[in-house]
Amino acid sequence: MPQYWLMKSEPYVYSIDDLEEDGQTHWDGVRNYQARNFMRDDMEVGDQVLYYHSNASPPGVVGVAEVVREGYPDHTARDPDSDYYDEKATEEDPRWYMVDIEFVRKLPRMVPLQEIKDEEALEDMVLVNRSRLSVQPVEEAEFERIVAMAEEEAPE
DNA sequence: GCCAACGTTGGC
DNA sequence: GCCAACGTTGGC
């Protein structure tokens, strides 16, 4: 049984189209402990990911990806030239981790954050209640509901 | 561009 | 270990 997640990316930095073009990518640059722990400890190959565009207008879920490599050290933390460099990261204690994800598909339409907020079945989503977390768990029913919403017409 | 929410840092 | 200051995220 796969688990379900939501991962945020700013489309100007790395969009679903970029992921489609690349096929797969390292999810580097996460510098939040809670998000790191999910990647390091909980994500498994085959898990399904809702791909979310943050800082977009409107923000929302745009596609699906899949975990293809489980947590391993984020090498950008030890690269002084990287924007994500962290002097406290060492080989023995890498401090930051990433996973690899693969493009699965774009949804037929974006499901905007506002629609997610308006949907009663989604009121417990982490996205709605703790908006800052960039890697977060999603219930299977929530995942399926959002995918179903993308198959439907946008509400008036 | 503003600013609220919230996570992290560092002085004590 | 508390908590004020500070920095970042991300919606609007």
Contacts 24+ apart (CB under 8 A), A116-119: A116/A60, A116/A61, A116/A146, A118/A155, A119/A145, A119/A149
Distance A110 CA to B12 C1' (A): 50
Distance A96 CA to B10 C1' (A): 22
A111: Cα within 13 Å, side-chain hemisphere: 27
Condensed to tens digits (0 to 9), the pLDDT of residues A79-135 reads 888 888 888 888 888 899 999 999 999 999 999 999 999 999 999 999 998 868 999
Q: For A127, which DSSP code?
A: H
CB-based contacts with strand C under 7 Å? A 8, 31, 54-59, 113-114, 117, 131-134
Which amino acid, residue A80?
P
Cβ atoms of A134 and A2 closer than 8 Å: no
CB-proximal positions of chain B, under 7 Å: 5-8
Q: What is the pTM of this model?
A: 0.93
Condensed to tens digits (0 to 9), the pLDDT of residues A10-44 reads 999 999 999 999 999 999 999 999 999 999 999 99
Condensed to tens digits (0 to 9), the pLDDT of residues A122-144 reads 999 999 988 689 999 999 999 99
State the Cα–Cα distance between residues A101 and A80, nearest whole angstrom: 25
State the Cα–Cα distance between residues A45 and A93, nearest whole angstrom: 23
